[in-house]
Amino acid sequence: MKEIKPFKEPIYIIRPVLPDLKDVNKKIVEIWNSKWLTNFGDQHRALEEELKKYLKVRNLSLFCNGTIALQLAIQVLELTGEVITTPFTFPATSHSLYLNNITPIYCDINLNDFNLAADKIEDLITSKTSAIMPVHVFGNPCDVEKIEQIAKKNDLKVMYDAAHCFGVDYKEKPIGTFGDISMFSFHATKIFHTIEGGALTYNDDDLKDKLYLLKNFGIRDEETVLLPGTNAKMNELQAAIGLLTLSLVDEEIRIRKKLSEVYTSNLKDVEGIRLLDRKKDVKYNYQYYPILIDTETFKMSRDQVYEEMKKYNVFTRKYFYPLCTDYKFYSSEDQNNIPNAKKVANEILCLPIYGELSEEVISNISKILKNLKKT
């Protein structure tokens, strides 16, 4: 094989989708002229309406970030006791439960899609269980039908962490319409972002008013405070960036789809590399491109591959690693009956994918991986 040289410039796991600076400057002028920087201004209201249309949801509330949106979703659903969730997720999922004095009960995941294993949920339900909190990992929808069935049978709430799922549809139904509430992250690393930000989507109209109070100090008007809320409002600059970025999302998804197909074409038959199962009835956003590295068959561990790729100026990510159950401050809550989650966490590697990359770059990253297999 021809020698593969390192890339001249670093290839990172992700790059933010950025609107044209001229358009950003126009938005800043609008905001400066309005002299309205926060507290539900024109940009905030416009973004909320545009996102409702794009995500095809009945209700949507904006927040300054996705983590606090999760925390307040737990409060608005009045969850208590224990919540069944996944250990294979970003720390914010578990943190939001702990910060609300709720014990996460960790359920194992599926090996094919890395999502919460629906067939293992019922064994974990106790008298203290108030909800199920699955994560649509890497934008791959959970078994929403089975989860809904279990929740109804046991009178539980369902709160989805849909941080990776912007624009995803399952069986032609928007992902944000499932469960009691869903959280979307608008962090700069996401396919749609407001630099920092997040949103909750929900079908119950009655949640709208309480979420408003929870994110605005519990203030109803100048002289009325109805509950102990916090400050979780999205400001006008964030919302303006969101309005501009939203117009770029469809093209970004189109490009990432092509790049994803190049990866799949190059890597699908490489022994020791396993790809995420894609469901035929899902409209994906191609937010991430994860692979699993099997040490025995690939002849190199995931950690070794991670380090070797750096030599080529390619920066991958062990995402999600470690598991939430591995955090020292959660050790008292650690549960060992999660073999699939442990296996995936030790083998997972997310490869670079974003619209600024070319198909040639993706092919070369694939060639590097295949070359490592032969060394």
- How confident is the model at residue 211, as a pLDDT? 98
- Please list the residue range(s) of the chain that carry CATH number 3.40.640.10: 21-246
Q: How far is 117 from 110, CA to CA, in rounded Å?
A: 5
Query: Hunting for tokens 């294979």 — which residue is that?
Result: 88
The CATH number of 249-374, from 3.20.20.140, 3.40.1010.10, 2.30.38.10, 3.90.1150.10, is: 3.90.1150.10
SS3 per residue for the chain: CCCCCCCCCCECCCCCCCCCHHHHHHHHHHHHHHCCCCCCCHHHHHHHHHHHHHHCCCEEEEECCHHHHHHHHHHHCCCCCEEEECCCCCHHHHHHHHCCCCEEEECCECCCCCCECHHHCHHHCCCCEEEEECECHHHCCCCHHHHHHHHHHHCCEEEEECCCCCCCEECCEEHHHCCCEEEEECCCCCCCCCCCCEEEEECCCCHHHHHHHHHECCEEECCEECCCCCECCCCHHHHHHHHHHHCCHHHHHHHHHHHHHHHHHHHCCCCCEEECCCCCCEECCCCCEEEEECHHHHCCCHHHHHHHHHHCCECCECCCCCCHHHCHHHHHHCCCCCHHHHHHHHHEEEECCCCCCCHHHHHHHHHHHHHHHHC
SS3 per residue for 167-202: CCEECCEEHHHCCCEEEEECCCCCCCCCCCCEEEEE
Query: Hunting for tokens 């909750």 — which residue is that?
Result: 200
Token couple for 177: 């319409």
Residues 6+ apart with CB under 8 A from 161: 70, 89, 93, 133, 134, 135, 136, 182, 183
Domain 21-246 has CATH 3.40.640.10: yes
Residues 6+ apart with CB under 8 A from 46: 239, 243
Encode the chain (375 residues) as per-residue pLDDT tens digits.
467 889 999 999 999 999 999 999 999 999 999 999 999 999 999 999 999 999 999 999 999 999 999 999 999 999 999 999 999 999 999 999 999 999 999 999 999 999 999 999 999 999 999 999 999 999 999 999 999 999 999 999 999 999 999 999 999 999 999 999 999 999 999 999 999 999 999 999 999 999 999 999 999 999 999 999 999 999 999 999 999 999 999 999 999 999 999 999 999 999 999 999 899 999 999 999 999 999 999 999 999 999 999 999 999 999 999 999 998 887 655 567 999 999 999 999 999 999 999 999 999 999 999 999 876
Q: Is the dihedral of CA 174, 58, 70, 64 positive or negative?
A: positive
Half-sphere exposure (Cβ direction) of 124: Cα atoms closer than 13 Å: 27
Asked whether the beta carbons of 130 and 111 are under 8 A apart, the reply is no
Asked whether the beta carbons of 259 and 265 are under 8 A apart, the reply is no
- Please list the residue range(s) of the chain that carry CATH number 3.90.1150.10: 249-374
Asked whether the beta carbons of 31 and 43 are under 8 A apart, the reply is yes
Q: How far is 192 from 125, CA to CA, in rounded Å?
A: 35
